[in-house]
Amino acid sequence: MKLNEQRYVHLAALDTLEEGLRAAFTAGGGTVLRPQADLLHLVEAEGDTYLCAVPIPAAAQRQEHARADCLMTMTALLKHHPRLTDEQINACNRYTALSHVSRPDGQQHVAAINSFPVFDDPQQRSVAFYLGLQTAVLQRSWLSQVLASLADDFRCAVPVLDAQSAHLPSRWGDAELELMFAEVTQACYRARQPDPHGIVIHLSKPSGRGQGSFVIVRNDLEHPFYGNGLSITLALPEEFGVSREQLERRALEWNRREARSILPTPCIGAWSSMLGRSQMQHQCFLPNLIYAPGLGQYALGSTLDRWAACDQEGERV
């Protein structure tokens, strides 16, 4: 019996994603199971990925945004990998692209985790489905490669997934950055372009020493695993006197909190502490091999939403 898509929109969204996943995972030797109406279980030799669809209640909607119908949460586990310390998880998250590494509640081992809201706006809906499909295919490969390469000292080079993309310019060209720049200035953000390859968005003024919160968007920073693409980094103000261990514990908690949140903000990228600074950052990287029109704006919008959520919750931003 066909479900009413208006009433069971989260199940209809999972049906749409399942079609693409079956094609991708069957071709790669994996299996796609549907043990429950709201759950997909992707099985490969390395481990399992679970995708769950849940409705977003009206109380969690934001009036200034398009309505988010449901949230797709994605957790990729590996069957064999070491228990990692907080410092090691934080080091993994500095290599982040689409997923964050976290230790789920009650688990000893780590997982790569994401969530994607599915909107009623057709364009945003299409981007969410596309990004969800690409991330499901890529995130466990990314996690296994990072853990394998960094298991000893977390300073080794990570082999590039797609060697060709490392030698090609970013598919997010300077013209697309100019379009993103125009959009953020029209939205009344204080932004500037220091050069054709980057955008700096100033989000808050400093309350004391140092800088306030800001976002840096670059199309000329090569990811050690994915090669070229688009880099988006949110930096919070430096916190003098706060230890590295405190920031690492906070980054773990903020990543867990995002994974559990029902708010319609895409959970892509990861929080981590900056190397050598008492400062928190959130990083997201879109690799060339998943380029699609509108994807850069989607990721940047999620970063700005994330900062706004921190500001509303009274975090130091």
Tell me how far apart the alpha carbons of residues 155 and 86 are, in angstroms, rounded to a whole number: 16
Residue 88 pLDDT exceeds 70 = yes
User: What is the average per-residue pLDDT within 163-190?
Assistant: 89
pTM of the model: 0.88
In the block, which residue shows the tokens 């090609």? Answer: 168
90-110 pLDDT, tens digit per residue, is 888 888 788 898 876 666 777
For 163-312, CATH gives 3.30.1460
Alpha-carbon dihedral angle through residues 302, 307, 311, 316, given to the nearest 10 degrees:
150
DSSP state of 58: G
Tell me how far apart the alpha carbons of residues 156 and 224 are, in angstroms, rounded to a whole number: 10
Most confident of 1-15, 71-85, 114-128, 286-300: 286-300
User: What is the average per-residue pLDDT within 246-272?
Assistant: 87
Helix (H, G, I), strand (E, B) or coil at 150: helix
What pLDDT does residue 154 have?
46
Q: Which two tokens stand for residue 59?
A: 């109380």
Q: Which two tokens stand for residue 175?
A: 């013209």
Residue 313 pLDDT exceeds 60 = no
105-163 pLDDT, tens digit per residue, is 666 777 889 988 888 888 888 888 898 888 888 887 777 777 776 655 444 555 566 66
For the chain, what are the domain ranges?
Answer: 9-150, 163-312
Give alpha helix (H) positions in the chain. 9-27, 86-94, 122-150, 174-186, 244-260, 295-312
Task: Pick the closest to residue 289 from 172, 123, 162 (CA basis).
Answer: 162
Residue 1 pLDDT exceeds 70 = no
Q: Which two tokens stand for residue 75?
A: 């957790």
Tell me how far apart the alpha carbons of residues 267 and 74 are, in angstroms, rounded to a whole number: 10
For 9-150, CATH gives 3.30.1460
What pLDDT does residue 229 have?
93
User: What is the average per-residue pLDDT within 22-47?
Assistant: 86
179-217 pLDDT, tens digit per residue, is 999 999 999 999 999 999 999 999 986 655 667 899 999
Are 89 and 102 contacting, i.e. CB atoms less than 8 angstroms apart? yes
**Matching CATH topology for 9-150 and 163-312?**
yes
Tell me how far apart the alpha carbons of residues 275 and 89 are, in angstroms, rounded to a whole number: 13
Bridge partners, 285 (sequence order): 231
CA-atom Rg of the chain in angstroms? 19
Are 142 and 225 contacting, i.e. CB atoms less than 8 angstroms apart? yes
- Range scoring the smallest mean pLDDT among 27-31, 39-43, 79-83: 79-83
Task: Pick the closest to residue 232 from 259, 200, 193 (CA basis).
Answer: 200
pLDDT band (50, 70, 90) for residue 7: low
Q: In what order do the strands lie in the sheet with 100-102?
A: 31-36, 39-43, 48-55, 68-77, 111-119, 100-102
Q: Which two tokens stand for residue 273?
A: 């502490």
The one-letter code for the residue type at 219 is: N
Tell me how far apart the alpha carbons of residues 303 and 247 are, in angstroms, rounded to a whole number: 19
In the block, which residue shows the tokens 């991708």? Answer: 24
Q: Which helix (DSSP H) or strand (DSSP E) does residue 77 occupy?
A: strand 68-77
Tell me how far apart the alpha carbons of residues 153 and 143 are, in angstroms, rounded to a whole number: 16
Q: What is the mean pLDDT of the chain?
A: 83
What pLDDT does residue 106 have?
67
- Range scoring the smallest mean pLDDT among 54-68, 279-293, 296-310: 54-68
Of residues 147 and 171, more confidence is placed in: 171
Q: Spell out the residues 6+ positions from residue 72 whose beta carbon is closer than 8 angstroms to its own.
A: 13, 14, 17, 51, 52, 53, 115, 116, 117, 118, 128, 132
What pLDDT does residue 187 have?
92
Tell me how far apart the alpha carbons of residues 239 and 69 are, in angstroms, rounded to a whole number: 38
What pLDDT does residue 52 have?
92
278-296 pLDDT, tens digit per residue, is 899 999 999 998 899 899 9
